[in-house]
Amino acid sequence: MNTMRMSPEFATAFRARLVEHVNTTARPKRRRALLTGGITLTLVLGGTAAAAATGLIPLPGGTEVTELAETTSGTFTGIGALELGQRPAGATGVAVSLTCLTPGTFTFDDGASVTCGDGSDSAHPTTYVVPTEAVTGNQVSIVTGPDAVWTMTATWVLADTTEWAVNADGYTYGVINENGEPDLIAVLTADNQPGYVWRADLYDANGTTAAESFTSPEDALRWQEANAGTVHYLPVYESDGTTQIGEFEVGGN
């Protein structure tokens, strides 16, 4: 995905790097975050698992989680690891609920991370499923700064990715997952209402469409410079893709 053209392998890696750059240099706040499996998460481009909300019905394409063991909890300062107990047969991941008690960036075992700002983040735990292949032994860990304080609850789970839904016009809608992106991607509006943006609109705004025509890293740099500080306001719709309910902000600083 992601005239002279790049090879498919290079294009895929190049697109991923570009999207990573756009999203990390102009990181959206939580209220403008993509929905990934039923919660908001300000990250997940580098992660290998979909985010999930344990005990909640996931959005289409989200992760349905079945707990396989008792939960454990702990509070930590700096880098820490939570013991989970013996890994049950059939476990595919560890569901964690991370609460930031101080500002900082908190990185999961699979490389995904969440950045918390002021103390208001403590009221909004981040729920995430770390895949078992990223878990060492029977514990799940968080890497963060030495002064960062956090608490986490976790348990072994069986996590299954659900199917995207299809609206009356035949377009898929739901959350981004390991299978790709649906036609209508779940987001939160500026006033925290769940809805959907068209994938094509998002691609135009975040540089993915432009990246398809890039033939060199210099093309990407020119695009980034030309669009630095630009804010795109994408219409957010209900799942029908036509009833607008708000806007989704992409870009800016």
Q: Is 195 helix (H, G, I), strand (E, B) or coil?
A: strand
Per-residue pLDDT at 38: 34
> What gap in Å lies between CA 130 and CA 96, rounded to an integer?
8
Per-residue pLDDT at 119: 55
Instruction: Kindly report, residue by residue over 166-187, the tens digit of the pLDDT.
Output: 999 999 999 888 888 899 999 8
Q: Hunting for tokens 């878990």 — which residue is that?
A: 135
> What gap in Å lies between CA 145 and CA 49, rounded to an integer?
23
What is the mean pLDDT of the segment spanning 76-90? 94
> What gap in Å lies between CA 252 and CA 175, rounded to an integer?
23
Instruction: Work out the pLDDT band at 101, boundaries 50, 70, 90.
Output: very high
User: Is the full-model pTM beyond 0.85?
Assistant: no
Does the pLDDT of residue 147 top 80, yes or no?
Answer: yes
> What gap in Å lies between CA 4 and CA 18, rounded to an integer?
19
Does the pLDDT of residue 207 top 50, yes or no?
Answer: yes
Q: Hunting for tokens 């939570």 — which residue is that?
A: 82
Amino acid at 67: E
Instruction: Work out the pLDDT band at 24, boundaries 50, 70, 90.
Output: very low
CA-closest candidate to residue 159, choices 179, 194, 119, 132? 132
> What gap in Å lies between CA 72 and CA 70, rounded to an integer?
7
Instruction: Kindly report, residue by residue over 3-21, the tens digit of the pLDDT.
Output: 333 334 433 444 444 444 3
Does the pLDDT of residue 23 top 70, yes or no?
Answer: no
- Higher-pLDDT residue of 199 and 29 is 199
Per-residue pLDDT at 4: 32
Please count the other Cβ atoms lying within 10 Å of the Cβ belonging to residue 65. Answer: 24
Q: Which fold has domain 63-161?
A: Jelly Rolls (2.60.120)
What residue spans define the domains of the chain?
A: 8-39+163-251, 63-161
Does the pLDDT of residue 46 top 70, yes or no?
Answer: no
Per-residue pLDDT at 176: 86
